[in-house]
Amino acid sequence: MPVLEYRARSEDGKLHAGRAQQSQLASLRDELRRDGLFLVEVKTVGPGRFVRRSVSQRELILIAYHLQTVVRAGIPLIAGLRDLSEQTDNRYLRSVIDDVIEALGAGASLSQALARHSGVFPNEFVQMAMAGELSGKLDESLDRLVHLLEWEEQLVGQVRQLVAYPIVVLVALFGLIILLLTFVLPKFGGILESLKVELPLPTRFLLASSKFFLEYWGWILAVVLAVGVGWYFLQKLENWRLAFDSWTLRIPLYGDIRLSLISSQVSHFLGAFIDAGVPIGEGLEMIVGLSGNTHAQRTVERIRQRVFEGDPLSEAFRESGLFPVLVLRMISIGEESGTLPESLQKAGDYYDREIPRRVKAIMEVAAPAITVLLAAILCFVILAVLLPVYKMYGALT
């Protein structure tokens, strides 16, 4: 039976959280109502041993496309979502859609119903639905959402394809080092030391490394785990996360690509929100959490505040000191010509082409470098094993 993790509020506004064994979300809501609680958010955390608990990007795209088709055809949302629930094979997603249907039946808007499942529907999904509701152009907002989700899927796919080979090589390199230190060198160590010759420096270094690893592997593992746990808790500290995210944007190559990705996201979604009729200030508020970078989020918040105070959008972006010149120029052109959504879209399209090109250029250099590194390690190991044998052979002749 699925395990439901929920959050509910009492009439005095106090938040309650808990878990319950329920076969249907509706029964959970009824039980909470009897206790004077109103369900705010619910998600399935244990739907069964062999049931998938996630929703893929492709499924999100299909949901957005289905909603857009339903709205454009004039079909009631509840009826369209019931059809979608019957068609999906993902039991977890079906339970989520059923809860959205129930929320709509209780009088909630589509964005409010989607926001109840933040673990399934990302912020941009909910905000685009809200933008469509506010502007009265829900079908156009959903159509734009489909294109944005497809863009994200395509971009992630391109980046994954480019970095797949270097990651495989690095994993192989790490595995080779572990194999040498734990299995190969201990077996050859006794043989090499029995040759009664002075071992060369590479051989002594490898044998010492192997001995250290075998004797202190427990401590090494403990240090790695301690670093991982410490890093996890450091990420919970807002000041630390802000400083770290700001530093990552200054890392050569990586920082440029990360900033380009943030610029692309801001351009795409802000342009989409403005085009849907959402005021600029509210559109900025909607995109605050998109980037995943705390420093960028704080910057967008400051820009939003400046806009609410009456400053032009281009000036607020320029004085933020974060975004590239291209974004600033396109915003200025858009403000002057009255075509801000189109200008932002052009900026986003530029970065859509530029990001894969930059990643590909880096990988074209990194992949051979990693291969050379792997070959150098292999050569070092081979020399460390063969040099003592060659030295002994020279002493005998």
CA-based torsion, 169, 171, 174, 180: positive or negative: negative
Give SS3 for 43: strand
Interatomic CA distance for residues 171 and 75, integer angstroms: 51
* Confidence (pTM): 0.66
- For residue 223, the model assigns a pLDDT of 92
Geometric angle at alpha carbon 142, from 139 and 144, rounded to 5°: 110
Buried b (16+ CB within 10 A) or exposed e, 88-114: bebebbebbbbbbbbbbeeeebbbbbb
Encoding tokens for residue 307? 């806009």
- For residue 241, the model assigns a pLDDT of 87
Buried b (16+ CB within 10 A) or exposed e, 52-66: ebebeeeebbbbbbb
Mean pLDDT by 10 residues, the chain (397 residues): 65 69 59 74 54 75 90 90 86 87 88 86 82 81 84 76 75 78 72 68 80 84 92 86 89 87 86 80 78 86 90 91 91 90 89 83 80 81 75 62
Please name each of the domains of the chain with its CATH number. 3-121 (1.20.81), 150-397 (1.20.81.30)
- For residue 51, the model assigns a pLDDT of 45
- For residue 143, the model assigns a pLDDT of 86
- For residue 20, the model assigns a pLDDT of 64
- For residue 396, the model assigns a pLDDT of 57
- For residue 194, the model assigns a pLDDT of 67
β-bridge partners, 16: 8
Long-range contacts of 57-62 (CB under 8 A, 24+ apart): 57/149, 57/152, 57/153, 57/156, 58/153, 59/88, 59/90, 59/93, 60/121, 60/122, 60/125, 60/149, 61/146, 61/149, 61/150, 61/153
